[in-house]
Structure 1
Amino acid sequence: MKSENRPVLSASFNTRRVDLGKVSSHETKKPAKQGNRRQLEQHEASLVPLIRSKTPINIVMIGGERLDEVCVIGFDRYSIAIEYDGFRETVFKSAIARIITPAEV
């Protein structure tokens, strides 16, 4: 058996070998892969510093109920997780009329 006819195997799993002469045009135009994270909306971006600093805020619900001194502990696309009166609760964003934050955050 001749060893020059056998394919060359690579022991590196993290690298990809590419022959630049054989790259098709559609491979060079691919955008950089963005992670699975979605773009934050404006109100969500303002919640991030509140979560980190544990700043209490006031939330006014659509029904008129007012939640004072609420600490935001997390959020997702549809809801906000809060600590209120010693309990952890989940509030749907669609039920919130206003979020009142201190002037300096």
Structure 2
Amino acid sequence: MDTISWSDFEKIELRTGTIREAEDFPEAHKPAYKLTIDFGEPIGKKRSSAQITDLYSKEELVGKQVIAVVNFPPKQIGPFMSECLVTGFPDEEGRVVLAVPDTSVKNGMKLF
């Protein structure tokens, strides 16, 4: 495992956001949703492609608070531009379990 400096870690913008929309993404190579996430001001809303269809329905995702990296450059995924990376952990079967705050916090709060 590589080590990083504290200043390297401070560059990563891991922020809280609330999923406002979750849509099917049939063009994705692996099953995924297109998410619209509200990070509050000054970040605003960003979109993300997330391979989380195994454990989450679109309906249960709307209103869920997540932790995402918001300072990666946008990434083209098929016809969709992903603007942030929603974080999670694989379970024993490789399904993504979302990384979420255990208590609601203000959107846009930075993990430290």
TM-score, scaled relative to structure 1 = 0.26
Which structure is richer in relative contact order (CA contacts within 8 A, separation 6 or more)?
Answer: 2
Choose between structure 1 and 2: higher helix proportion.
1
Decide which structure has the larger Cα Rg and report it: 1
TM-score, scaled relative to structure 2 = 0.25
